């Protein structure tokens, strides 16, 4: 599960429609409640045959609303208006073909349909249905239109084993991605903005995680990077409409956070460099967030070296790895933007000074210099801070925040350079 502390105190309406994926809704509600979110639920008649409204009301600590409640005479305001005004964010997970059609065609038949049309808040929709239904031209038309609405965050279904025993597209995106979309929506909401597809038609190449260099059959050189920063940048870009290639070393983030990305797992710096070299020509933006090992053994032993001989073996055969960013920027294409990362220690001034030198040396357009010697941030943490450095001694201070929030700030700067 993601760190959802940024959602504490927020008001989220969770809507459930008629798909077998509705059985996941109670888990989503439970996660949000544990994160301190105030949750209310709406369920359509078909979804109520799959999930008990009682379970949603119990988990949310609020009444679960149904169509029969819409015109209750005890309401002092039309219920669909009251709920639309109450919710700071609406999640429809899953959204069925029927509910998608109602929403995109302005059909207010039913409580949920009326709420969606009345809402002025951001709406997350996550479809789930049989592959043939998903690929039907009418459904595709409705989905394509939904993606053009600034108010809507549209989460494409994934491929997998469906309830009908078919393997194909139509599986609802996993809950970790829905949670990332929630957090992202509120990051933008702080500035009274919607998260939109402002990076549509831009292809990103992102590197993430550590690399591993074998020394012998038992030992290796690596670092403490979890890969979280790079993965979150990749997912944030995808949420904003980008196509993303992710080249990653042995990362230690949950596998569900990779869903929807074009992933290329590698192990060593040599493997990472080769894959980046293959993918570079098709990328408009390259983000080098991987923590590549600085050293490798030229000829790693296939057997375990004895403790007595190990230090001598290392000193005789240790060499520096290639600088992947420098190699990449030598071949940088016209209008291609490269963002590098530098993990540093020391005072703010020391980090900035070292960062400026590295940016020039490596030839990247932007460089994020982030401290790794401060409590609660850096490697394998959910939070970060640092300084974004650019040409003409440009410095932008990124204060302590979640790595997802910083990811969106970095993407804003990249978007500004592209425009």
- 135: which DSSP letter? T
**How many other C-beta atoms lie within 10 A of the C-beta of residue 34?**
10
User: What mean pLDDT is predicted for residues 143-153?
Assistant: 97
Q: Do residues 352 and 389 lie in contact, with contact meaning Cβ atoms separated by under 8 Å?
A: yes
pLDDT at residue 146 tops 90: yes
- 22: which DSSP letter? G
Question: What local confidence, expressed as pLDDT, does residue 1 receive?
Answer: 42
How does pLDDT run across 319-330, given as a tens digit for each residue?
888 999 999 999
End-to-end distance of the chain based on CA atoms, in angstroms? Answer: 35
Kind of pairing between the strands at 203-208 and 243-248: parallel
pLDDT at residue 82 tops 90: yes
Confidence of residue 410 (pLDDT cuts 50, 70, 90): very high
pLDDT over 90 for what percent of the chain? 79
Question: What local confidence, expressed as pLDDT, does residue 96 receive?
Answer: 97
Where in 68-197 does DSSP place strands (E)? 89-95, 122-127, 152-154, 158-161, 167-171
Phi and psi at residue 238, in whole multiples of 5°?
-65, -40
Question: With b meaning 16 or more CB within 10 Å and e meaning fewer, what string describes 353-362?
Answer: ebbbebbeeb
**Residue count (the chain):** 419
The long-range contacts involving 350-354, CB below 8 angstroms and separated by at least 24 positions, are 351/386, 351/387, 352/387, 352/389, 352/395
Q: Spell out the domains of the chain, with CATH numbers in brackets.
A: 5-189 (3.40.50.1950), 203-418 (3.40.50.10300)
Least confident of 165-179, 197-211, 309-323: 309-323
Which among 9, 414, 7 is positioned nearest to 181, based on CA atoms? 7
Question: What local confidence, expressed as pLDDT, does residue 4 receive?
Answer: 58
**Taking every pair of C-alpha atoms in the chain, what is the biggest distance, in angstroms?**
85
Strand partners, 158: 171
Confidence of residue 358 (pLDDT cuts 50, 70, 90): very high
Least confident of 301-310, 327-336, 402-411: 301-310
How does pLDDT run across 237-278, given as a tens digit for each residue?
999 999 999 999 999 999 999 999 999 999 999 999 999 999
Phi and psi at residue 209, in whole multiples of 5°?
85, 180
User: What mean pLDDT is predicted for residues 11-22?
Assistant: 97
pLDDT at residue 63 tops 70: yes
Question: What local confidence, expressed as pLDDT, does residue 234 receive?
Answer: 98
Instruction: Please give the positions annotated as active site.
Output: 164
Which among 72, 74, 52, 73 is positioned nearest to 64, based on CA atoms? 52
Sheet order of strands, 337-344 included: 262-265, 243-248, 203-208, 285-288, 337-344, 366-371, 383-390, 394-402
User: What mean pLDDT is predicted for residues 144-158?
Assistant: 96
Question: What local confidence, expressed as pLDDT, does residue 3 receive?
Answer: 55
Interatomic CA distance for residues 236 and 182, integer angstroms: 11
User: What mean pLDDT is predicted for residues 151-160?
Assistant: 93
pLDDT at residue 53 tops 80: yes
Question: What local confidence, expressed as pLDDT, does residue 168 receive?
Answer: 82
Strand partners, 394: 390
User: What mean pLDDT is predicted for residues 5-19?
Assistant: 93
How does pLDDT run across 179-237, given as a tens digit for each residue?
999 999 999 998 889 999 999 999 999 999 999 988 888 888 888 899 999 999 999 99
């Amino acid at each position: 599960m993601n760190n959802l502390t940024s959602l504490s105190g927020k008001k989220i309406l969770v809507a459930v429609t008629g798909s077998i994926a509705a059985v996941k809704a109670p888990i989503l509600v439970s996660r949000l409640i544990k994160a301190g979110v105030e949750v209310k639920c709406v369920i359509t008649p078909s979804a109520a045959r799959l999930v008990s409204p009682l379970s949603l009301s119990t988990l949310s600590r609020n009444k679960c609303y149904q169509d029969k409640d819409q015109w209750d005479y005890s309401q002092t305001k039309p219920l669909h208006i009251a709920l639309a005004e109450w919710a700071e964010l609406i999640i429809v997970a899953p959204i069925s073909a029927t509910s998608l059609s109602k929403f995109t065609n302005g059909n207010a038949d039913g409580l949920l349909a009326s709420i969606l049309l009345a809402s002025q808040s951001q709406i997350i929709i996550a479809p789930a249905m049989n592959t043939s239904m998903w690929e039907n031209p009418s459904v595709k038309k409705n989905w394509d239109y939904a993606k053009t609405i600034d108010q809507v965050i549209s989460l494409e279904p994934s491929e997998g084993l469906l309830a009908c025993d078919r393997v194909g597209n139509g599986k609802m995106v996993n809950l970790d991605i829905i949670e990332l979309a929630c957090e992202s929506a509120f990051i933008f909401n702080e500035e009274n903005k919607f998260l939109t597809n402002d990076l549509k038609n831009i292809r990103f190449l992102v590197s993430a995680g550590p690399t591993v260099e074998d020394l012998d059959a038992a030992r290796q050189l690596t670092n403490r990077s979890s890969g979280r920063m790079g993965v979150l940048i990749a997912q944030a870009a995808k949420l904003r409409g980008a196509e993303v290639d992710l080249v990653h070393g042995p990362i230690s983030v949950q596998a569900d956070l990779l869903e929807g990305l074009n992933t290329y797992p590698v192990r060593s710096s040599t493997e990472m460099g080769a894959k980046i070299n293959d993918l570079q020509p098709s990328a408009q933006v390259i983000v080098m967030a991987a923590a590549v090992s600085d050293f490798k053994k030229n000829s790693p032993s296939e057997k375990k070296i004895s403790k007595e001989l190990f230090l001598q073996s290392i000193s005789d055969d240790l060499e520096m790895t290639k600088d992947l960013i420098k190699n990449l920027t030598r071949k940088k294409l016209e209008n291609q933007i490269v963002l590098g990362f530098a993990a540093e220690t020391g005072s703010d001034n020391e980090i900035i000074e070292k960062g400026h030198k590295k940016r020039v040396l490596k030839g990247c357009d932007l460089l994020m210099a982030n401290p790794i010697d401060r409590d609660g941030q850096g490697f394998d943490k959910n939070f970060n801070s640092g300084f974004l450095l650019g040409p003409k001694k440009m410095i932008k201070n990124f204060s302590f925040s979640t790595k997802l929030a910083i990811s969106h700030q970095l993407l804003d700067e990249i978007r500004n350079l592209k425009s």
